[in-house]
């Protein structure tokens, strides 16, 4: 399955992401700039912030209750479709998802 990250400068990177792998893990493994994942996915750093492309927002779903608190402390300002990418796990319906790495 594929996911695409769009950087603040418009550069795009598309990666193969295995089912069950979080978008944070996939991005960190390939060194996508701006996705740090400092806490390793335990919802305590907010450095994996991405803005889900509006076309994919409904399928990706909104933030979980404990995720929404962390989204209030992201470095880049929270957007309506902001998510913490450690909480988005690849699944069939997300094949092709596009997320934006926010400008900080
Ligand atoms: S990796 Fe730390 S909150 Fe997502």
Are 67 and 43 in contact, with CB atoms under 8 Å apart?
Answer: yes
Looking at residue 57, its pLDDT comes to 97
pLDDT digits (tens, 9 = 90+) for 49-79: 999 999 999 999 999 999 999 999 999 999 9
pLDDT range class, residue 32, cuts 50, 70, 90: very high
**Ligand 1 binding pocket includes 24 (Cβ within 6 Å):** yes
pLDDT range class, residue 19, cuts 50, 70, 90: very high
Distance 4 CA to ligand 1 centre (A): 19
- 104 pLDDT higher than 90: no
On whether the pTM is more than 0.85, the answer is yes
**Ligand 1 binding pocket includes 63 (Cβ within 6 Å):** no
The Cα–Cα gap between 42 and 58 comes to 24
Looking at residue 43, its pLDDT comes to 94
The Cα–Cα gap between 102 and 76 comes to 6
Are 30 and 17 in contact, with CB atoms under 8 Å apart?
Answer: no
The arrangement of secondary structure in 2-100, i.e. its CATH architecture, is Roll (3.10)
Distance 43 CA to ligand 1 centre (A): 5
Looking at residue 47, its pLDDT comes to 97
Structural tokens at position 5:
């990250």
DSSP state of 87: G
pLDDT range class, residue 28, cuts 50, 70, 90: very high
Domain ranges of the chain: 2-100
């Amino acid at each position: 399955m594929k996911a695409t990250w769009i950087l603040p400068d418009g550069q795009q990177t598309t990666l193969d992401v295995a089912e069950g792998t979080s978008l944070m893990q996939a991005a960190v493994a390939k060194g996508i700039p701006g996705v740090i994942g400092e806490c390793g996915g335990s919802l305590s750093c907010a450095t994996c912030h991405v803005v889900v492309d509006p076309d994919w927002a409904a399928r990706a779903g909104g933030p979980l209750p404990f995720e929404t608190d962390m989204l209030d402390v992201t470095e880049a300002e929270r957007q309506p479709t902001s998510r913490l990418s450690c909480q988005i796990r690849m699944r069939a319906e997300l094949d092709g998802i596009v997320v934006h790495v926010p400008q900080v």
